[in-house]
Amino acid sequence: MTILNRRRWLAGLGTAALGVARETAAAEVCAPRDGRLLLEDFRPESMLHVPETRVPRARFPVIDVHTHLTFTRREGKGVAVGDEIDFALAPGKALEVMDRKGVQAMVNLTGGTGRGLEQALAALDRAHPGRFYTCTEPSYGQFREARYPQLQADAIERAAKSGARGLKILKTLGLYLRERLTEGPLVPVDDRRFDPMWEACAAHQLPVFIHVSDPEAFFRPVDCRNERWDELGHHPDWSFHGRDFPSHESLLAARDRVFARHPKTRFVGLHVGHDAENLALVGAALDRFPNLDVEIGARIGELGRQPRVAARFFDRHQDRILFGTDAVPPPEGEKYPQQVFKDELYEIYDRFLETDDDYFDYAPAPVPPQGRWKIYGIKLSEGVLRKVYVDNASRVLRIGA
Ligand SMILES: [Zn+2]
């Protein structure tokens, strides 16, 4: 693989806010050498003269159901263990962005377990009622114990009683968790040892925010045909091509068996139900599983490049789609501009949902970070917009119930 110049790319990111600085940064990389230009240096500027609508604030109050304000501290090979958590941002700083952008509440999905979960609930949910909702996660550190299925179900019950509002499943399940945590065969998504956990979520009315698999291109060879070449260059560990990884299709099939086996458990399929490239398939899953809703975080790049298909999808499934961004605070979030928690991120999401603008960036970055294309707004009707921004999430999270 040609080595992408990550430092230069990040430098470009830092200067993107300043037009003058951007010109200087661009001049240094834009001159062809011997008539050739590297793909990483190609930053075409659109010559289209089309309306550009700035949406400084969402039209309705927003619940962002997919954010990461805390993280479990100990993590190795994609598997987090232990109770210790770190705060990625002071709650007061998050509230400043939220108040400017009209974000009523954020769901902090990665709230961790045990004592760490307690800390997150205290600093977020209890200190700022109605502004933050924190979720718990599986205790993978106990996975090798024979009593794990029951221990995990008990942990869900305790988390619910402490005030956790859901369970977050990272793509750890299916792609990282192995029989001996990080060694041995991968544990399938529909492994029976998790059945008591899914049932406990139903019993305690905790929705499961689940991320299974990843973009289809992450399962393809990383070569000149891969539409996410740049992204996989910046994050080579996101490639699940080869080795012993299951196919995207078999991961989704295992997920479907979980949905079918636990009809009383409410699932929110993050990242547009794990297949934003194939909205017909996501629509079929929504039709087949009444216990499933979907969320749009980090996938407006996919939705917005198929605006007609996406608009029909939103119209048809308007009661089942939740607003989310997958926001990660800077500086960590700057590594993934499509989900960096800042004002511009919300302005882009709101522009996509509220306007019919043509051909604009899906992320605040000089090079589109998930693939070299731009997006088109889908201008939802007021009724659908309100459902997607706030009503559907209120129902799933039982806010006011
Ligand atoms: Zn996420």
pLDDT digits (tens, 9 = 90+) for 263-322: 999 999 999 999 999 999 999 999 999 999 999 999 999 999 999 999 999 999 999 999
* pLDDT at residue 373 greater than cutoff 90: yes
C-alpha 211 – ligand 1 centre gap (Å): 8
Q: How many CB atoms lie within 10 A of CB 24?
A: 10
C-alpha 167 – ligand 1 centre gap (Å): 13
- DSSP letter string, 65-76: EEE-SEEEEEEE
* pLDDT at residue 8 greater than cutoff 60: no
C-alpha 264 – ligand 1 centre gap (Å): 24
How far is the C-alpha of 222 from the C-alpha of 6, rounded, in Å? 17
Look at 33-47, 49-63, 172-186, 364-378 and tell me which has the smallest mean pLDDT: 33-47
Residue of 21 and 200 predicted with greater confidence: 200
Query: pLDDT class for 3, splitting at 50, 70, 90?
Result: very low
C-alpha 172 – ligand 1 centre gap (Å): 12
C-alpha 17 – ligand 1 centre gap (Å): 25
pLDDT, tens only, 57-113: 999 999 999 999 999 999 999 999 999 999 999 999 999 999 999 999 999 999 999
Per-residue b or e along 109-136, where b marks 16 or more CB atoms closer than 10 Å to that residue's CB: bbbbbbebbbbbbebbbeebeebbbbbb
Q: CA dihedral in degrees (66, 67, 72, 75; nearest 10)?
A: 70
Which residues does 52 contact at the CB level (< 8 Å), separation at least 6? 357, 360
Which residues does 341 contact at the CB level (< 8 Å), separation at least 6? 67, 89, 94, 97, 325, 327, 328, 329, 330, 333
C-alpha 297 – ligand 1 centre gap (Å): 7
C-alpha 30 – ligand 1 centre gap (Å): 34
Tell me which residue has tokens 């139900």.
273
Query: pLDDT class for 400, splitting at 50, 70, 90?
Result: confident
Give the pLDDT confidence score for residue 41 in this predicted structure.
Answer: 87
User: What is this structure's pTM?
Assistant: 0.93
Contact 203, 245 (CB under 8 A): no
Give the pLDDT confidence score for residue 370 in this predicted structure.
Answer: 97
C-alpha 214 – ligand 1 centre gap (Å): 11
